[in-house]
Amino acid sequence: MQPLHLVDLETAKLELVATRDGFGEGLIAAGRANPQVIGICADLSESTRMEGFKTAFPLRYIEIGVAEQMLAAMASGLAAVGKIPFIASYAMFDPGRSWEQVRTTMALNEMNVKIVGAHAGVSVGPDGATHQAIEDIAIMRVIPKMTVVVPCDAIETHKATVAVAERWGPTYLRFGREKSAIVTTKQTPFEIGKAQTFRAGNDVAIVACGILVYNALQAARELAAHDGVECRVINNHTIKPMDEQAIVKAARECRAIVTVEEHQVHAGMGSRIAEITAQSHPIPIEFIGVQDQFGQSGTPAELIEHYGMGTESIKNAVRRVLKRKPGS
């Protein structure tokens, strides 16, 4: 197995960087690598971090105003002529508001557009429920031909941005607003569609995506220290096409799974894992995520805790699933 070069969370000082910052830098790198990469933004260039690209490549940056349906449909037109548009806004509106344009003009029409959903999850914080996208993975993963990527930290978001620019196809790239823990390094490999085992273990597999991968690692560390339970932690950054092999292997070897995502548990990443395991290796699963509710204002930490996605909640889910594990 390729070495992962992860941050040693036991010894290293915790570094916090927003995933959106990784996107901003990644887009500049993608723009340098390919002159067909263009940026289109719906009045949020600073907060989505498309600003850097705008400064670096002013002639390849298009400001569209507050018009997210236009953002999607126009990008499809640009892609038809060979451009590789990255379209940025908050995930709630892009793709939240533009779903039908994404489906018809981008997916059915097979256009090479990259949808950039910033400020995803309840960790947007004080903006409240209207701006907290927690249904976006569901509405994107259901569309044929769509790729869905949810990187775990700023460094991985940088790599994911470059990778989706290089790889042909309509793609949804999701990330958050708040500063979050850095768990990977520049040397950590990244490949779309390849889940990574960030921690070895065979008692329970915790399959996580996005910034909650850090919480999953923390939970696993504490469970090992206090409960003597060894969890496998999988960074499942590609929701579609999902690494089915890695999921089935985890199901077979650990025989119990906890899924962790900053999204509704209905129809999200965890649901996909249930679909895969139900068909090939049925095992008990506990789902960490928002339980069919809307968010609200609060600090990101408060909200992650309140909606049951904190480290304690993950540990409790592991304990519950252990009791349901066959032969336990």
Partner 1 sequence: MADVFAALYFHILRHNPLDPEWVDRDRLLLSCGHIAPVRYSAMAYAGYFPIEELTTLRKFGSRLQGHPERMRLPALETTSGPLGEGLAQGAGMALAAKMDEAQWRTYVVTSDAEHQCGLHWEAVMTAAKFKLDNLTCIIDRNFIQIDGSTEDVMPLEPLAEKYRAFNWEVFQCDGNDIAEFITTMEKAKEVRGKPQVVIAHTLPGKGVAFMEGDYRWHGKPPDRRQADEALSELSAQRELMVKHDG
Interface residues with partner 1 (CB under 8 A)? 38, 59-60, 62, 64-65, 67, 69-70, 73-83, 100-101, 104-105, 108-110
Nearest-approach distance from CB 223 to partner 1, in angstroms: 49
Residue 40 or 317: the one with the smaller Cβ distance to partner 1 is 40
Residue 80 or 267: the one with the smaller Cβ distance to partner 1 is 80
Nearest-approach distance from CB 205 to partner 1, in angstroms: 38
Residue 77 or 126: the one with the smaller Cβ distance to partner 1 is 77
Residues 146/171, Cβ–Cβ less than 8 Å: yes
For strands 179-181 and 16-18, give the pairing: antiparallel
Residue 39 or 310: the one with the smaller Cβ distance to partner 1 is 39
Nearest-approach distance from CB 43 to partner 1, in angstroms: 12
Cα 198–chain centre separation: 16
Nearest-approach distance from CB 52 to partner 1, in angstroms: 20
- CA angle at 297 for the pair 294 and 302, rounded to the nearest 5°: 95
Residue 113 or 290: the one with the smaller Cβ distance to partner 1 is 113
First to last CA, the chain: 31
H or E, element range at 286: strand 285-290
DSSP, residue by residue, 167-211: S-S-EEEE--SSEEE----TTS---TT--EEEE--SSEEEEE-TT
Nearest-approach distance from CB 62 to partner 1, in angstroms: 7
Catalytic residue among 25, 68, 178, 261, which?
68
State the Cα–Cα distance between residues 288 and 259, nearest whole angstrom: 6
State the Cα–Cα distance between residues 3 and 6, nearest whole angstrom: 9
State the Cα–Cα distance between residues 123 and 313, nearest whole angstrom: 16
Active-site residue 68, yes or no? yes
List active site positions: 68
